[in-house]
A and B are shown apart, each in its own frame.
Chain A
Amino acid sequence: MATIAQAVRLALHYGEEHLGVTDVFGEDVGPPLGGVFTATQGLRTAWNTPLDERGIVGTAMGIAYAGGRPVCEIQFCDYAFNVIDLLKVAGNQRWASAGEYEMPVVVMTPTGAGIRGSLYHSHCFESWASRLPGWKVVMPSNALDAYGLMIAAIKDPNPVLVLLPKALLRAKDTRLIPGEPAEPDELSRMIDAPIGDRTDWRPQWPDVQEYVVPIGKGELVREGTDGTVISYGRPLPLCVQAADELARDHGHSFDVIDLRSIFPYDWDLISRSVQKTGRVLVVNEDTEVTNFGEHLIRRVVDEHFYDLAVRPRALMGKHVPGIGMNQAYETNSVPQLGDVRAALRELATDPA
């Protein structure tokens, strides 16, 4: 029943207590705020940094060199563009040093639109991130996966970027994190900081258990025969809803894949599904020119051209400089439920 923000917090707490996490840090990550999305409230090792993303990533690398296990946050991925070369350096340290140095850093950052964030709180980052060799990049669409992927990211000795869909950070899961209290409001009473003065507040951590979502493992969240829908992050619940509606109203059924890992990605799962359905649609909200979804389509065409019944498709964000503040900009440039439903219907009904 946790939200993604709570799930991240629980995973970081588990990391501090059981996996050797030494530092959770970033802008406003420590007390009193505990993160602008509350994802780091109450954590033992959380601390506030100067407003300096390059310092955050550079310091994380230094801590990792010296044997620490840092988890740092870029407050919004929209502010990660000035650290892209440091991310590149972090990704190449092992390769560049012929295996001498490992780089066990976790960088987490909220990504995507959907919070009325205007130009600079609405960017996507997964396509940029997919061009950072040496990194692993994960993106949960629900709280349980966020918990399991964050624990995997901490356990992995390589740099892992955890992209958190901004619009889903407060979405509650229907499932429980292992060790989470069953009563829906109890978790909030235990670990959410009170409004106002928090000087004497301490969280009551539930005894959460280890739960790993392996990196590179997608999940088949709906099973069907009329098409394969590949998505992740914020549009994933829209794909599920659209698939359910089309099943109910028109009798179309789809394989809906929550990719969960951008790199490495679960090609095995994609490949098997495309061979079965012969129809494939990739849905994400990143801008459409040189979009990570295009890479998946390229591989589908390369390896499954003769398995395809209809042309492969991608539904993506428009190639625009940003998301405007008026909602008209977002609804007309980022895939919405209606767009997803129409794309699925077209995928299922396109004559072979």
Chain B
Amino acid sequence: MPGTSEDPPDNESGAVRRAVRTVAPAVVRSGREVVSAELALTVFRQMIRTRALEERSIKMSKSGEAYFWIGGPGEEAFNVCLGLQVHKGHGPAHDYLHLHYRNAGVMLAMGMPMIDHVRQLAMRATDPHSRGRNFVGHYAVKAWNVVPVTSVIEVQYAMAPGTALVQKRHGERHPDQAEGISVVVGGEAGTAEGDFETCLNWSTRPGQELPVLMAVTNNRWGISTDFQAVSAEQRIADRAAPYGIRAETVDGNDPVAVWNALDRAMRYCRRERKPFLLEAMVSRLHGHSSSSGAQREWGQADPLTAFEQRLVDGGAIDPAGVKGLWDEAKAEADAAVVAAMREPEPTREDVYRDSYAPSEVDAVYPNDYTGLPAAK
């Protein structure tokens, strides 16, 4: 594919420019949006960690340590800003997350250790999300309300109204716990599925509006298909209009803009107990998955290098500081891989395990599935 290779293209201007400022700024701006410099650096660090983990993951899929990679390089700004703003916890007082398979940045920003991602990628028995059963990025963390990620595109949009319904009722009964929302994330291609419309419709039944944040990360591509070739829509966010849902389209590659857009959208869902549709325009830096090679596509805008440039230009960090963050993140990812690869793999005994929860009313499988029903 033209424009793709492992190495960055020659850059005549050399490395990132040095800052001219000597005093660290208090804030970082983007147009009329602003975040504190401290927050910007937190976001930046998490973006680097996410990228380092994804790049190490791609390497694993190519080295044979893993069989398949899919993920979200190019979506770090959106994912990290989302993960940092989630009300994390278990139960309806906290946020529910209906993610898809490009959300490593959300999970790392929430505090997932890198090794839990690698355990799934490396198909280990210790994989807490799926015991080596599912593709990478298919997280499931009950303690944080992260419901299982499913490869089937857009099914999460059919489920989000259910968690939001429980959250809305919970908040009405417990006014001090009335800010939990359901966040559902998917790509733009999946909005062609009926489940997207299901979410819009079920979230706006008159008098029964639901606190659902529908986030569409629009990278323009469904595997190899250009969205603009299969859909007449100009903006996904316009789909909200017939339902009276508030919506916004934001540059998902701009962490300052996306932080504030998420803050507004989440605040609205939390306080108004109504849905919001947020479309974030993002990049897809390594193609759809390892099935399409996962080569870097240098023509796509990179949210990480752009943010780095802005932070350095503004004097929020210097190149040595950037390098330090990268060294740290790469070392963390390498250590996670080394540790995970030493852990055991699933065995024959794991095949049936966790098919069924224990049931006092089941005469055949009171504890778990054990193979076809047998004569006693």
User: Residues of A at under 8 Å CB distance from B?
Assistant: 22-23, 49-50, 52, 54-55, 57-68, 70, 85-86, 89, 93-102, 104, 133-134, 136, 152, 155-158, 212, 214-217, 264-268, 271-272, 299, 303
Contacts and interface: CB of A to CB of B under 8 A. Distances in A.
Given A67-B166, A100-B141, A215 B363 contact: yes
Contacts of A156: 359, 361-362
B158 interface: yes
Contacts of B356: 94, 134, 136, 158
B163 A63 contact: yes
Nearest to A267: B373
Given A55-B161, A58-B195, A63-B166, 18 more contacts: A59-B161, A62-B160, A63-B165, A65-B159, A68-B166, A85-B152, A86-B155, A96-B130, A97-B130, A97-B140, A98-B128, A101-B147, A134-B355, A156-B359, A158-B357, A212-B361, A215-B361, A216-B373
A71 to B, nearest CB: 13
A306 B141 CA distance: 50
Contact of A133 (B140, B205, B355): B355
Contacts, number: 179
15 contacts: A54-B194, A54-B195, A58-B155, A61-B158, A62-B160, A66-B163, A155-B359, A156-B362, A158-B359, A214-B361, A214-B363, A216-B362, A264-B373, A266-B364, A268-B375
A97 B372 contact: no
B365 A264 contact: yes
Pairs A-B, 7 closest by C-beta atoms: A62-B162, A58-B158, A216-B364, A66-B166, A97-B140, A264-B364, A99-B354
Given A86-B155, A98-B354, A55 B361 contact: no
A60 B158 CA distance: 9
Contacts of B167: 66
Contact of B148 (A66, A100, A104): A100
Interface range, B side: 35 or more
B355 A50 contact: no
Given A98-B129, A101-B147, A65 B162 contact: yes
Contacts of A102: 357
Given A55-B158, A62-B166, A98 B140 contact: yes
B123 interface: no
A272 B375 CA distance: 8
Contact of A86 (B158, B201, B360, B362): B158
A347 to B, nearest CB: 22
Best-surrounded residue of B131, B134, B162, B374 (most CB of chain A within 10 A) = B162
Interface in B117-144: 127-131, 133-134, 138, 140-142
Given A59-B159, A62-B163, A299-B372, A101 B202 contact: no
Nearest to B125: A98
A66 B92 contact: yes
Nearest to A135: B356
Interface in B133-192: 133-134, 138, 140-142, 145, 147-148, 150, 152, 155, 157-167, 182
Contacts of B69: none
A98 B166 CA distance: 24
Nearest to A299: B372
A62 B194 contact: no
Nearest to A152: B361
B159 A61 contact: yes
A64 B201 CA distance: 20
Given A100-B141, A264-B364, A61 B162 contact: yes
Given A52-B198, A61-B162, A62-B163, A157 B358 contact: yes
Nearest to A214: B363
A96 B365 contact: no
A100 B142 contact: yes
B140 to A, nearest CB: 4
A50 B359 CA distance: 32
A244 B345 CA distance: 57
Best-surrounded residue of B96, B130, B147, B160 (most CB of chain A within 10 A) = B147
A303 to B, nearest CB: 8
